[in-house]
Chain A
Amino acid sequence: MGIDITGGNLIILRSDQELTNEGIANALSDFELPELSISTIASPTGYGAWIQYSKNPLIAGAEELVNSAQENLENEEESISLSNQAIALLGGEEKEFENSKIALTASEEALAIYKEEFYQGIQDNLVAELGLGNNVEFQQREISPTLGSASFAGILQISIIGFILLTLVVFVAFRQLVPSVAIIQAMIFDVIFGLAGMSLLNIPLSLTTLPALLLLVGYSVDTDIMLTSRLLKEKGGTAGERATTSMKTGLTMTLTTLAALFSMLVISYFYQIEVMYYISAILLFGLIGDLISTWLFNAPILLWFVERDKK
C-alpha cells in the first residue's frame, strides 16, 4: 500500500545532475529518517529519484506531547508539564508558565520552528549536496496515518458502490444471467490482472491508482459489451462468424488503447510523472488481461450459451 493509505513521506526529485542512491543517502545522513528507501532512475532525458521515509521519531514524539497538552488544557499542571516535555524533547529549556494556554502556545511554536528547520534542512541538503541548483524540480508528500486510513475507507466505499452500479447497468442492458455474469467475471479478472501488474512493478495501492483501476473497469467492459451484444442480439451469420468479426473489432479497440498506453508508460516513466505512470501501467496490464478474459473466457461461455439456446 502507498503512503496515501499507510501515511509517511515521499519526495520525488528530477534533475539534469546524476542522482545516485549513495549520494542521496549521504545528503540525508544528518536527519534521522526511519524506513528510508531510495530508488533512482536514469533516462536519456535526465535523472530521477524517489525517496520515501517515515516520520522522524523526535518530531512524532513532540507532536504527540503537544496534542496531549492540548487535550488536557483544562488540567493546568498536567498540560503545562506535557508542553514542557515537548519543548525539552525539541532541545529547548523547560520554563515556569503562567497557565496551560501560554505553555501550549510555546510548545507549538517550538515544534513549528523545529519542523520548519527540519524540512527546509532536508530540502536544502538535497539541493546543496546533489548540486541541483535553484531550479530544482521536486514533488513532496507527507501523509498522516489517520488521514491515510480515512482515504482508504473512502476508496473502499467508492469501489463497492461503483461495482454494484456497474453490475446493475450490465444486468439492465442484457437482462440475462449468464451473459451478465460472464461480463462481470471478465471485469473482475481484468482488475486482478491490473493488481498483479501493480505488484510486479511495485506500484502501491493509492489514491492515484484508484482511478486507474476504475478506468480499467470502464475500458475492459467495452469489448465484452460489444461481443455480448453482437452474439446475443444480432441475427445474421452463425454465432461463430459473429464472434470472429467481433474479435476483429475488439482487437482493434484494445490494440489502439494498448499502443497509446505503452507510449504514455514510457514517457511518464522516464519523466517520472507518477500519476500518469501508474495509470498507464495498470491499464496496460489490465487490458492485456482483458484480451485473455474476453476472448478466451467470455467468448466461449457466450458461444456455449447461444448454441444451447438454439437447441
Chain B
Amino acid sequence: MSLLKNPRVMILILVIIFCLGLIFINGGHEDDGFLPGTNIKLGLDFEGGTLLQVELSEEVSTDQINRIANIISQRIDARYDATITPIGNKFIAIQLSETSASEIEKIESRIRQQGQFEAAINGQTIFTGDQIIKILRGDTSFGVYQLGGTYEWRLPFVLNEKATESFKEKTFHQCSAVSFTTTGQPIYNCERTIFFLDKPESIVIISEDQYNLDRDYLFLGDRRLSIPAQTDIDELIEDSQVDVIIYNEDINLEQINSISEEKEINNIIISNDLTSDLNTLLFANGYNVEISNDSTPVIWNVLGGRQIIALTEGITNENVGSLEEATSFSTLYITGQRTSFEEAEEDLEELAILLESGSLPTPVKSISRETISASLGESFKGLVLIMGIVAFIIVGIIIALRYKNIQLIIPIFVIGASEVLINLGFIALWGRPLDLAAFAGLIAAIGTGIDSEIVITDEIMRKGKQVKESAIGRAKAALFIIMTSAFTIISVMFPIIAFSRAYPGIEKLYGFAIVAIVGALIGVFVTRPAFTAIIQKIAGKLK
C-alpha cells in the first residue's frame, strides 16, 4: 500500500483516470467516424476517403493561398465533408469522405474550372461572376468600421458596362416606401437579390414533404447558411431559373420531356427521399439521374444558393420617374452589420470570396490523389488491433523468458499498457483523427517505452546486487539513459512538425511525429518515474 502513497505512482494513477475519462466519457458513435464508444476519431485510413493535393501553377503569398483555400471550400459541396489545408505557398491538401472515382473526378474538375457566380432578382439574372471587373480590396471603403456599438463591413466591387446597365434596369424602383420617419423621410422596403454559385444545369425534382420542410426552414432563416428570416422558397426557385418539380406520388413525364427538349437538358437531380422507382423510370427514359445527398434545406443547397442581399433605396433610383433618367452605378457596395469585429470580418471575407469565385487567382497545375475504399479502411481497423495484441503477447513471452520473475514482469506490462492508454487519451484530447501513420507513432512510443522499462529494471536490479550505490544514484543513471533516448526521438521527429505545412505529403506524417513526441514526453515525465519507484520498491523486497 505504501507504493500507492508514492507521489510518482499517485501522479500516474491520476493521469490514467483522467485519460480514461478523456477516452470514454461521452464516447462517439461509429457512424460519426469514432472508434465505437470512445472519443478517438478515426482518419481516412480507417474510414475510407480521398486526399487530394492541389498544386498551383506558381507560388503565391500566404494571404493568397488562404484565400484560394477558402474559394475551393466554397466550391466543394458540404456533403463531401471536406477538410482543406494550405501547404506552403503552392499546395493545398483536401481531405474528403468520398471514394467513387467518378465523384472524385467531378470534384477535381470543380476545383480546376471557373465557378459560375450569379446574382438574381425577380427571376432574372442581374450580373454574373465574369461581369465583375474586380473587388476593390485595396480601396479605403473596403473593410470593417465601428459604428456606435456595432461593426459595419463594406465590400465595394466594380461591374463591367453591360452588367452596370443590366443592374440599373433590373433594380429600378425595386424599393417601396412603407412608412415615414418623424421628420417626414420615407422608410423603404426593398427587394432582395439572391446570390448563386455553380447552379445546376439540371431539372430538379423534390418531394412535397421535403419542399414543405425546406419552405419552413427558409422562412425561419439560418445565419450559418447566410439565409435571412422570411426567405420565400418560391422566390428562391424563381430566381434560380432552374426547373424545379414538386413530386407528389405521380410524375408528369410529358412535362419533364418538354422541359428537357426545350432547354436541351438531360440531367435530373432528385431529393434522396424519393423512391427508387422514380429513379428507374427516369433512367429508363434516358435521363442521367443524380440523387442529392444534401441536407435540409435541400433546395437551397441543390440550387447553389449562397447569400441573400437586400437592395437599398440609394441605388434603385427611387428619386427619378423613368429609367431614362436613372443613374448607372458601376461601383456597388454591399454592407452589413454585426455586433463583433470578428463576425463582421468573417462576413466580409465570405462574401468577397463568393464574388471572386468566378476564378482562382492562380490556376491549378495538377491534382494528385489518394483514395482508400471504406471497406478496406474497415478491415484495417480489426487488423491493427490484432497486430497490437500479437505484438504485445510476443513481447510478453520474451520479457517473461528474460526475467522469470512475475514481480518484475507484471509492472513492465502494467506500465506498458498504461502508456498505450495515456497516449490514446492524448489522441482523444487532441481531436485529430487517428491514421495509420499516427498509429505507427503510437507503436514507436510503446516500443521505446518497453525498452526504457528494460533499462530501468536492469539498472536497478543489477546495482541492487552489485554496487553499494544510493537508490537515487541508481535511478539517476537510468534516468540519464531514458532522457537521452527520449530526446533523440524528439530531435528526429521535430523537423516533421516544423515542415509539415511547408511541403506536400509531409502533413501525412504530422500525426506520427506528434504522437511519437508526446509518447516520449509521457514516458519521461509520467510513466517511467512511476515505474522506477515501483521497481525500486520491488528490488528492496527481493534483496
Contact = CB atoms under 8 A, between A and B. Distances in A.
Given A105-B114, A120-B101, A215-B440, A158 B371 contact: no
A17 to B, nearest CB: 14
Contacts of A162: 491-496
B448 A218 contact: yes
Given A211-B440, A263-B394, A271-B379, A219 B447 contact: yes
A81 to B, nearest CB: 18
Interface string B363-400: 10111111111011001100110110011101101110
B462 interface: yes
Contact of A138 (B376, B488, B491): B376
A275 B436 contact: yes
A103 B179 CA distance: 52
A148 to B, nearest CB: 8
A160 to B, nearest CB: 8
A153 B387 contact: no
Contact of B509 (A112, A135, A207): A207
B477 A229 contact: yes
Interface in B158-210: none
Contacts of B363: 67, 70-71
Contacts of B508: 207
Given A218-B488, A257-B451, A236 B371 contact: no
Nearest to B399: A256
A248 interface: yes
A146 B485 contact: no
Nearest to A207: B505
Nearest to A235: B467
A28 to B, nearest CB: 14
Contacts of A190: none
Interface in A94-108: 101, 105, 108
B499 A253 contact: no
Contacts of B458: 245, 248-249, 252
B92 to A, nearest CB: 11
A128 interface: no
A56 interface: no
B379 A137 contact: yes
A147 interface: yes
B282 to A, nearest CB: 21
Q: Which one of B367, B384, B443 has the highest number of Cβ atoms from chain A below 10 Å of its Cβ?
A: B443
A111 B455 CA distance: 61
B481 interface: yes
Nearest to A150: B504
A264 to B, nearest CB: 5
Nearest to A11: B371
A64 B505 CA distance: 24
Interface in B117-158: 130
Contact of A158 (B387, B395, B499): B499
Interface stretch (B76-84, B102-110, B262-270, B528-536): B102-110
Contact of A252 (B394, B454, B485, B489): B454
Q: Which one of B373, B455, B492 has the highest number of Cβ atoms from chain A below 10 Å of its Cβ?
A: B492
A291 interface: no
Given A116-B102, A268-B387, A154 B502 contact: yes
B459 to A, nearest CB: 8
Contact of A276 (B114, B436, B494): B436
A58 interface: no
Interface stretch (A34-42, A82-90, A220-228): A220-228
B394 A275 contact: no
Contacts of B495: 157-159, 161-162, 165
Interface of A is mostly: helix
B514 interface: no
Q: Which one of B367, B466, B496 has the highest number of Cβ atoms from chain A below 10 Å of its Cβ?
A: B496
A226 B454 CA distance: 11
Contact of A137 (B45, B376, B467): B376
Interface in A120-153: 120, 122-123, 135-144, 146-147, 150-151, 153
B437 interface: yes
A120 B369 contact: no
Interface in B503-517: 503-506, 508-509, 512-513, 516
B368 A123 contact: no
A119 B367 CA distance: 14
Contacts of A173: 480, 484, 487
Interface in B431-463: 436-437, 440-441, 443-444, 447-448, 450-452, 454-455, 458-459, 462-463
Nearest to B106: A116
A119 to B, nearest CB: 4
A101 B368 CA distance: 25
Contacts of B387: 263-264, 267-268, 276
A235 B466 CA distance: 11
Contacts of A253: 450-451, 454-455
Contacts of B504: 147, 150-151, 154
Interface string B400-428: 00100000000000000000000000000
Contact of B503 (A115, A136, A150): A150
A201 interface: no
Nearest to B53: A147
Nearest to B108: A112
Q: Which one of B368, B398, B466 has the highest number of Cβ atoms from chain A below 10 Å of its Cβ?
A: B368
A112 B492 contact: no
9 closest A-B pairs by beta carbon, nearest first, are: A154-B503, A112-B109, A165-B491, A116-B105, A151-B505, A144-B366, A260-B391, A137-B376, A236-B467
Given A153-B503, A154-B499, A259-B398, 14 more contacts: A71-B363, A120-B105, A144-B366, A147-B53, A147-B91, A147-B505, A162-B495, A211-B513, A218-B492, A230-B477, A267-B387, A273-B384, A275-B45, A276-B387
Interface of B: 45, 53, 55, 57, 88, 90-91, 100-102, 104-106, 108-109, 112-114, 130, 363, 365-373, 375-376, 379-380, 383-384, 386-387, 390-392, 394-395, 397-399, 402, 436-437, 440-441, 443-444, 447-448, 450-452, 454-455, 458-459, 462-463, 466-467, 469, 477, 480-481, 484-485, 487-489, 491-496, 498-499, 502-506, 508-509, 512-513, 516
